[in-house]
Amino acid sequence: MYQSVLADVRLYELLGRIDQDLARVVQGKGCGRCGGRLDRADYARKPRGMPVELGTEHRMRLSLCCAACRRRNTPPSVRFLGRRVYVGAAILGITALRAGARRGEARVLRASLGVSGRTLARWRRWWREVFATSAFWRIARGRLRTPVPDQGLPGELLRRFTGDLQAQLIAGLRFLAPITTAAGAM
């Protein structure tokens, strides 16, 4: 099931539109330092884990630069989890697999995304050791109706959102968007 959602081009197109909306909001506020106009200053990424049939626009990280003081202002993103090489949907999706998932399902998903076992283990440790102890998580977990045990991250977090797997994945990425910028980085 995860594999079909993560291979769906429409998911990444929707995530791209959400990123455009997030960038417009930040751009409308102007520069936080001097109040100047923010111009687009997107930059190329080489993301892994997304369908190959997507165009080059899906490999661009939306970013802004102040026309007056030249300070870069990168808006939150639902496509990229900070500086990580893999797209956020792939990281969140594969690490959210339940511990009881069939080994074959996890192996097929890892192969389709090109994720090694060591990388997957490193991501799972990051969720439980780094993310679970972050200031962002200590504050953000209070916005959830029911508690999420740290050892259940990120799968239990996704299950707190309603809808099908794609809707939960999008909601989870929106929830995590603040950590994708320098200001919210952990």
Q: What is the pLDDT of residue 103?
A: 67
Reading the block at residue 85, the tokens are 């090489």
Q: What is the pLDDT of residue 109?
A: 87
Q: Tell me: the pLDDT tens digits for 170-185?
A: 999 999 999 998 776 5
Is 186 within a domain?
no
Q: What is the pLDDT of residue 144?
A: 92
Is 83 within a domain?
yes
Please give the tally of structural domains in the chain: 1
Is 152 within a domain?
yes
Q: What is the pLDDT of residue 3?
A: 86
Is 85 within a domain?
yes
Is 42 within a domain?
yes
Q: What is the pLDDT of residue 98?
A: 66
Q: What is the pLDDT of residue 158?
A: 94
Is 185 within a domain?
no
Q: What is the pLDDT of residue 104?
A: 76
Task: In whole angstroms, give the CA distance from residue 68 to residue 134.
Answer: 34
E-strand spans in 38-127? Answer: 38-40, 43-44, 60-61, 64-66, 72-73
Reading the block at residue 25, the tokens are 């909001």
Task: In whole angstroms, give the CA distance from residue 133 to residue 153.
Answer: 12
Q: What is the pLDDT of residue 140?
A: 94
Is 161 within a domain?
yes
Strand partners of residue 65? 39, 72
Is 99 within a domain?
yes
pTM of the entire predicted model: 0.92
pLDDT under 70 in the chain at which residues? 98-103, 184-186
Q: What are φ and ψ of residue 73, in 5° steps?
A: -135, 100
Range of the domain at 38: 2-180
Q: What is the pLDDT of residue 164?
A: 94
Q: What is the pLDDT of residue 138?
A: 94
